[in-house]
């Protein structure tokens, strides 16, 4: 009686042992993007050094909670073209960010577009020695057309192409575009001289950021990707707020972060949004 059952019991035990020893891989989370993904100057920096990337950016904070292995090729200064080409950063280039994609990719976040429209240089161009007037808006709308709106429109098909290529290279992945958090207050005046932008330029700059975010939302929807809205929950946490409340630093930083970039609080908030959207 016992002799007949023993082989079956041994077989069951062996199958159970194999299942425990070799669990199926959960897959990877790939974080594509620019400095708002990379997290420059938030401790601790990780390679490649020229990307100014932090081990406490939102991707590194979110991945363990998602139960996925992380591939984070994000890099400060990245544009849409750096998804498919090496980015020239010192001392070593950052490989094409799409190299991180593959059949095991389960989640992708994409934070891109700001550098394509020159948003960082725009912010610096708009710093003024006077709170009066609208010198930046006047410069970029001379001749009757809005140069930044034109750049946003030109970037839209580039973002669409990036999303389409992600879906082709990682067909099993859920793809989410993440937009940019509030730099200036969502309404009303700015906070000159803390952020040295003239009163007349505050509303225009705010509108340009909202226009960029709207373009990203449109391209996500048109190309079958989700949207992670970092902007809306960041309202009230802009760079004009005091330390401990702000998610984005001003030109003079009060927390460990690059000027006019998210700090650790901002990255923690984004990580929550990523986890909520993908699990």
pLDDT value of residue 260: 95
Report whether pLDDT(134) > 90: yes
pLDDT value of residue 20: 44
Domain ranges of the chain: 25-278
Closest C-alpha among 232, 231, 229, 252 to residue 240:
252
Tell me whether residue 261 is one of the annotated catalytic residues: yes
> Which residue's structure tokens are 């003239």?
198
Catalytic residue among 60, 176, 237, 261: 261
> Which residue's structure tokens are 């057309």?
145
How confident is the model over 68-75, as a mean pLDDT? Answer: 98
What is the pLDDT confidence band of residue 10, given thresholds at 50, 70 and 90?
A: very low
**Domain 25-278 maps to which CATH number in 3.40.470.10, 3.40.50.1110, 3.40.190.10, 3.20.20.10?**
3.40.50.1110
As a whole number of angstroms, the distance between CA 3 and CA 68 comes to 45
Tell me whether residue 54 is one of the annotated catalytic residues: no
What is the pLDDT confidence band of residue 25, given thresholds at 50, 70 and 90?
A: low
pLDDT tens digits for 194-234? 999 999 999 999 999 999 999 999 999 999 999 999 999 99
Q: Pick 123 or 69 by higher pLDDT.
A: 69
Catalytic residue among 35, 74, 120, 234: 35
What is the 3-state secondary structure of 68-99? CEEECCCCCCCCHHHHCCCECCCCCCECCHHH
Report whether pLDDT(178) > 80: yes
pLDDT value of residue 120: 77
Report whether pLDDT(8) > 60: no
Q: Pick 11 or 115 by higher pLDDT.
A: 115
As a whole number of angstroms, the distance between CA 38 and CA 17 comes to 41
């Amino acid at each position: 009686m016992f002799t007949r059952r023993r082989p079956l019991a041994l077989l069951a035990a062996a199958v159970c042992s194999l299942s425990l020893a070799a669990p199926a891989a959960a897959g990877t989370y790939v974080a594509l993007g620019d400095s708002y993904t990379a997290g420059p100057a938030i401790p601790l920096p990780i390679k490649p050094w020229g990307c100014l990337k932090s081990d406490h950016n939102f991707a590194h904070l979110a991945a363990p909670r998602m139960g996925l292995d992380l591939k984070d090729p994000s890099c400060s200064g990245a544009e849409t073209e750096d998804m498919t080409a090496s980015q020239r950063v010192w001392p070593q280039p950052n490989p094409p960010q799409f190299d991180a994609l593959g059949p095991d990719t389960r989640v992708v976040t994409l934070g891109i577009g700001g550098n394509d429209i020159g948003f960082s240089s725009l912010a610096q161009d708009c710093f003024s020695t006077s709170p009066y007037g609208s010198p930046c808006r006047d410069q970029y709308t001379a001749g009757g057309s809005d140069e930044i709106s034109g750049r946003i429109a030109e970037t839209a098909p580039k973002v669409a192409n990036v999303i389409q290529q992600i879906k082709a290279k990682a067909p099993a992945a859920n793809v989410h575009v993440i937009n940019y958090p509030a730099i200036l207050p969502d309404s009303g005046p700015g906070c000159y001289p803390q952020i040295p932008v003239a009163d007349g330029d505050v509303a225009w700059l705010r509108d340009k950021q909202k226009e960029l975010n709207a373009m990203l939302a449109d391209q996500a929807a048109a190309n079958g990707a989700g949207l992670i809205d970092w902007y809306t929950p960041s309202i009230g946490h802009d760079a004009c707020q005091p330390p401990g409340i702000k998610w984005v630093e001003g030109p003079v930083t009060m927390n460990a972060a690059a000027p006019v970039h998210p700090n650790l609080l901002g990255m923690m908030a984004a990580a929550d949004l990523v986890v909520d959207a993908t699990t």
